[in-house]
Amino acid sequence: MTDETRLSELRAKFGRVPPAPDEPSPKPLTLREKQPRFEGLVSGHRACQGCGEALAARLVMESAGPDVMVANATGCLEVFTTPWPQSAWHVPWIHSLFENAPAVASGMEAAMKAQGKKTKVLAFGGDGGTYDIGFQALSGMLERYHNILYVCYDNEAYMNTGIQRSSSTPHAASTTTSPAGKDRMGKRHLKKDLLSIIAAHHVPYAASASVAFPADLQRKVRYAMGIEGPTFIVVHSPCPLGWKHASALTIEVARRAVECGLFPLVELERGSLSNVMPIRSPRPVRDYLEVQGRFAHLMKDKDPRAEKERDHLQALADYNIATFGLAGAAQDANDTGGAAAVGRGGPLVGGM
Amino acid sequence: MAVLTRGAYALPGTSLDFKTGNWRSTEVPAHVHAKAPCHGACPAGEDQQAWFGLLQQNNLEGAWRELVSANPLPAITGRVCPHPCETACNRVTLDGALAIHNVERWLGDRAIEHGWAYPAAAPAADAPVVAIVGAGPAGLSAAWHCVRLGLRAEIFEALPEAGGLLRSGIPPTRLPRDVIDAEIERLLAVPGITLNLRARLGRDVTLDGLRRSHAAVLLGPGCQEGKDWSVQGAVPVDLHEGLALLREFMDVGAFPPGDRVIVHGGGNTAMDLCRMLKRAGAGHVTLVTASGLPGPETDPGDVINVVPRELEEALEEGVEIIAHATINRLIMKGSKVTGVEVVSLRKLKGADGRTKRVSFEGTERVLPVDLVVPCVGERVSPEGLEGLLRGGYLRSVDAWGRLAADGVIAMGDARGDRGTVAEAIGDGRRAALAAAALVAGAPEPQEDAREVLQANALNTRYYPPRARSAAPKLPVEARTFEAEIEGCIGSDAALAEAARCLSCGNCLACDNCWTFCPDNAVIKTVELARDGSHYVFDLDYCKGCGLCAAECPTGYIQMVAEA
C-alpha cells in the first residue's frame, strides 16, 4: 500500500480533511477541537483528582495515536474511562478480562495482519493486570513476537478495588492487605523487577518512564511505535488516593521517585541496557517517602524498625544507582535536571 | 447526554458530555499576574520582568520601550542605582540574582547608540501645560510622564544645564558626563517638553505665578543647602560641607589641601567624596559613621546606607572606615581644626522605645587631621518656597507628593525621605499621574496594587542552572577622576542574563499546565488569551487537583477559592 492510499484511507476514516482556504468551514472549530495535539483520551473521564494514570494514558495516546487500537485490561484505567454508556476513548478500544489484555491484543494484531492493515495495536494494563494477573498472557504475547506496544501504568497496588498490595508494591509500603502496624512495617516483600523479566524475552525494546518526565515518556512511546515487534513500557503513575499524598503533588512525588533512584528510568534493547536517564543530584529516599501517607510509619523517628526500613529502601535506591550507572559524571541535557528544563515558549530541548 | 438502550455500545468521545468540573470542592486554578519582586522593589516603578521577557524574545527595542515606560533615564540609573531589584530577585536562592543593573545600562546605551525614539505621541497643541521646577531626575521623569499622559510639560531650571544632582553630585567615574548629555538631550527632544534654563524659582519665576499660569506645579528643586553642622558649638573657619565640596571639585578640579582627612557621615555622597579625596592624593581618608558595616553581626537596619559595590570599591581603594562612631570634639588651634576626638557609639532602644545614639565613655581617641568634611545631608533651599517647607523639606504625607497648596506636588530629594535617583524618577512618575488626575478632575490617581510574588510560589525545578555574568571593572591602579570604573556587560552576557529571568508571576508559555493536566482541562490557544497567556482553563472538566499550579514554574497559576 502506498503512503498516498494509506493517507486517503485515514482521512476517510477520521474525516479530518482540512478545508481549502476559500472553502467555508461548516462549523467553526471550538478551542478544544483546535488543540495542536491528538486527543485519544478525552475529558470527562472519572479519574480522581490528580490521577497519574489518566495523565500517563493521555500522554501515551498523544504520541501513539491516531492510527491505533487499544486492548485494555481490567483496572482503574478501564473503569474510569468507560462508565457505561460513555467512553473517553477516541480510538477503537476493547476490554475483556483482567488477565487477557495481551491475548486479546494478540488476536487484534493477527486480524490486522490478515486484513493487510497497519493499524498498531496497543495493550494497556495496570500493575495488577501486568505484574500479577495478566503476566502469563503478556509473556506469551512477547514470546509470539506480536507487533504490539504494551504499556503498563504502574501505580504500585490494586487501586481500583481498594489499595491491595500487588507484586509491584514497593517494599515497606502500607496497603490494605499489607497494613503497617505492630507486627509488620507494611509490605514484607520487594517490588518485582518486571523490566528484567520482560527484557529476558529478548524483545526489541523495553523501557521504564515516569509521568514527571513527559517529554522522555513520549519519546519512548514514539520510539516503540516505530518498532515492528513486541515492545513494553512501564510508566510510574502516582495515585494520590492509594499513596496518600495531595493531588497537586502527583508530579512532585513521581519526580522524587526517579531522583532518589527507587524508580530508575532505563531502556533495554534485546535484553541489554541501551540508555538511562542519569540523576543530576540524587536525593535521599526520605524525600520521596515523607510526602506519602503509605510510608508514614517509616517517618517515626523513635521506632528502630522504621529506621531499618528506611535504610533498606535507601540501600535499594543506591543499588539501582550503582547497577544502572545513574549518577551522571557531569551535568547533561538528558539527565533529570536537563530533561525538565523549560524556557519561554516550551521545554528547552537539549537544555541543561 | 445521548440516550442509549441496554446492550448498545458507547459512542466515541461521549464522556465529554459528563462535566467533571462539578467535582471541584474548594479551589480553582486561576492565572494571577502577581508583581515580580524586582518590579515590587523598584523605586522608579520599572517592571524589569516585562522587559526581560521581551529581551528573551530578542526584541531589544521593545524591551527598551517597556523599560522607558517607567524610567526614561536607563543609561543613567543603569550606572548609579543601588538596584534594590537585584536584592529582591527570586533567582538569588538558585544561582545568584540577575544582573539587572548591568543589563539596564547596556540597553540604555544601546538605545542612545541606535537612536531609538522615545515612545510617546506628541500631546495636543491645546493640551494643559504642567510647570515643573528643577530639571534633575525627578523633573525630567515628571516631564516625560506628563507627555505620556497627554499633557505638555514646561521645565524651569535655575542652572544653565539640565541634570541637577546627576551633574553636581555624582562623580564621572560613576556617571560619565557624555552619558548624561546624550540621554538628557534625547529625552528633552521629545515633543511636548520645553526647558527654560537659568529660570530660578523666587528670582525669575514665582510659585504663585506658576500656579496661575499652569495646570499644576510639580516641585523637584532637590536639596541644595548643607545641614548645619557643629560639634558642641564649634565650627572650623574653613568648613567645607560635603556636597558643596564635591560640586566645587567638579567645577574647579582640586580639593583644599590636606593629607589627613576625616569625612563625617554615612551616605553615598560621603562615600563618593572619600574616594575622590583618596584619588586626589590624600594619604589617609577616614570615614566616621554612626552606622555599621554589612556583616553577619550587623542588624540590617543599622548597615551603612550606601550602594554595596561602592563600599566594596572604596575599601579596595584604601578608604578607612570607623563604624559605629561619631565625632565628639574638635581640637582647634585658633579657629582651625587640627584633630578630632572620635567616640564609639551605638543606636540603642531607650526606655520610651525610641532609638537613641548612645556614646560609650572611655572609647574616645584623638586623630590628627588637616580637614574635616561633614556629609550629614542637605535640605531644600527655601528660596521661592516660603511657607511650604516643614523642617527643611517639602514633606508630603501621601504617596503622590501632593502638598497642602492645591495643585502643587513635591518630588525627589526635596521630599526629605528620598535619597536615590530611582526614587526621584518614581516620584516624577507619580507626580505626573497625580497632575493628570487633577487636570482630568479624577478623584484619585491609581497605583498598581498587585501583590508581590514570593519565592515559595515558584517551582524552581524547571529552571536550568545558569551562572550570573559580571561586568568588567577597572583595577584600582587604573582608576582616575574621569575614567568610568565599571564597564559594559556586553550584548552576549546581557542576553544570557535575560535568559536567566524566572518570569515570576508571568506566563512563560512553557506548556507545563497543558502537558500535566490529567483532565485535558487546560486548553492551548494560538492567539493570546484575555489574561495575556496562551492557555485557558476549561472549568467544565477541571477537577481542581492543583497540579497545574504546583508545576507552574513562575507561580502564574495559583489555586484560588471557588467563587
B525 interface with A at CB cutoff 8 Å: yes
| B397 CB within 8 Å of a chain A CB | no
Kindly list the residues from chain B whose CB atom is less than 8 angstroms away from the CB atom of residue A43. Answer: 15-16, 20, 519-521, 538, 540-541
Task: Give percent of chain B with pLDDT exceeding 90.
Answer: 51
The confidence score (pLDDT) of residue B12 equals 55
Which residues 30-59 in chain B show a CB within 8 A of chain A? 53, 56-57
The full 3-state SS of chain A, as one line of letters, equals: CCHHHHHHHHHHHHCCCCCCCCCCCCCCCCCCCCCCCCCCECCCCCCCCCCHHHHHHHHHHHHHCCCEEEEECCCHHHHHHCCCCCCCECCCEEECCCCCHHHHHHHHHHHHHHHCCCCEEEEEEEHHHHHHHCHHHHHHHHHCCCCEEEEEEECCCECCCCCECCCCCCCCCCECCECCCCCCCCCCCCCCCHHHHHHCCCCCEEEEEECCCHHHHHHHHHHHHCCCCCEEEEEECCCHHHHCCCHHHHHHHHHHHHHHCCCCCEEEECCEEEEECCECCCCCHHHHHCCCHHHHHHHCCCCHHHHHHHHHHHHHHHHHHHHHCCECCCCCCCCCCHHHCEECCEECCCCC
Domains of chain A: 37-329 (3.40.50.970)
Q: Is the pLDDT of residue A351 over 80?
A: no
pLDDT digits (tens, 9 = 90+) for B271-305: 888 988 888 888 899 999 988 888 877 777 788 88
The pLDDT of residue B128 = 94
Query: For residue B248, is pLDDT > 90?
Result: no
pLDDT digits (tens, 9 = 90+) for A84-120: 778 899 899 999 999 999 999 999 999 999 999 999 9
Q: Do A55 and B516 touch (CB under 8 A)?
A: yes
pLDDT (mean) for B435-460: 88
Q: Is the pLDDT of residue A13 over 80?
A: no
Q: Is the pLDDT of residue A19 over 70?
A: no
Residue of A nearest to B543 (CA): A49
**Fold match flag (B129-224+380-440 vs B235-376):** yes
Q: Closest Cα of chain A to B498: distance in Å? A: 11
Q: What is the pLDDT of residue B290?
A: 87
- For B54, the closest chain A residue by CA position comes to A344
Say whether residue B556 is in contact with chain A using an 8 A CB cutoff: no
At residue A15, the pLDDT reads 65
Q: Residue B11 pLDDT more than 70? A: no
Range name among A130-144, B122-136, B387-401, B549-563 with the lowest pLDDT average: B387-401
ipTM of predicted assembly, 2 dp: 0.90
Return the CATH number of B129-224+380-440, one of 3.30.460.40, 3.90.1570.10, 3.50.50.60, 3.40.190.100.
3.50.50.60
Q: Which of A285-294, B117-126, B245-254 has the lowest mean pLDDT?
A: B245-254
Task: Judge whether B555 is closer than 8 Å to chain A, CB to CB.
Answer: no
Q: Do A54 and B546 touch (CB under 8 A)?
A: no
Asked if the Cβ–Cβ distance from A343 to B499 is below 8 Å, we say yes
Instruction: Pick B465 or A13 by higher pLDDT.
Output: B465
A197-211: pLDDT as tens digits: 999 999 999 999 999
Q: In CATH, which of 1.10.10.10, 1.10.1060.10, 3.50.50.60, 1.20.120.1770 is domain B37-118+458-500?
A: 1.10.1060.10
pLDDT at residue A188 above 90? yes
Contact A277, A267 (CB under 8 A): no
The answer to whether the CB atoms of B462 and A342 lie below 8 A apart is: yes
pLDDT in tens, A238-288: 999 999 999 999 999 999 999 999 999 999 999 999 999 999 989 999 999
| Inter-chain CB proximity A58 and B520 less than 8 Å | yes
Pick from B8, B13, B515: CB nearest A214: B515
Chain B contact probe: residue of A49, A82, A255 with most B CBs at under 10 A: A49
H helix runs in B460-546, sequence order: 491-500, 512-516
Q: For chain B, what are the domain ranges?
A: 14-33+506-561, 37-118+458-500, 129-224+380-440, 235-376
pLDDT at A152 over 80: yes
> Mind telling me how many Å the CA of B4 is from chain A's nearest CA?
7
Distance CA A166, CA A157 (A): 5
User: Under an 8 A CB cutoff, do B547 and A247 touch?
Assistant: yes
| Mean local confidence (pLDDT), B478-504 | 90
Q: pLDDT at position A22, please? A: 72
- pLDDT tier at B4 (50, 70, 90 boundaries)? low
Interchain pair B19, A347: CB under 8 A? no
CB-nearest to A340 from B2, B461, B518 is B461
Contact with chain A for residue B16, Cβ under 8 A: yes
Does residue B7 sit at the A interface (CB-CB below 8 Å)? Answer: no
Residue B475 has pLDDT above 80, yes or no: yes
Spatial separation of the C-alpha atoms in residues B21 and A40, rounded to whole Å:
20
Q: Measured between CB atoms, does B520 come within 8 Å of chain A? A: yes
Question: By mean pLDDT, which of A15-24, A174-183, B149-158, B253-262 is the weakest?
Answer: A15-24
Contacts of A81 in chain B (CB under 8 A): 15
* Band of residue B252 on the pLDDT scale cut at 50, 70, 90: confident
| Residue B391 confidence (pLDDT) above 70 | yes
The minimum CA-CA distance between A264 and chain B, rounded to whole Å, is: 19
Q: Residue A16: its pLDDT value, please?
A: 59
**What is the predicted pLDDT for the residue at A314?**
96
- Inter-chain touch A352–B12, beta carbons under 8 Å: no
- Give the rounded percent of residues in chain B with a pLDDT score beyond 70: 98
Residues of A within 8 A of B509 (CB-CB) are: 344-346
Average pLDDT, chain B: 88
Query: Which of A59, A81, A251 is facing B550, going by the closest CB pair?
Result: A251
Nearest to A85 among B10, B520, B536 (CB): B10
Residues of A in contact with B553 (CB under 8 A): 342
Q: Convert the pLDDT of each residue in B25-65 to its tens digit.
A: 889 999 999 999 999 999 999 999 999 999 999 999 999 99
CATH number for B235-376 (one of 3.40.50.10710, 3.30.460.10, 3.50.50.60, 3.30.420.40): it is 3.50.50.60
Domain B14-33+506-561 class? alpha beta
**Which residues of chain B neighbour A337 with C-beta distances below 8 Å?**
464-465
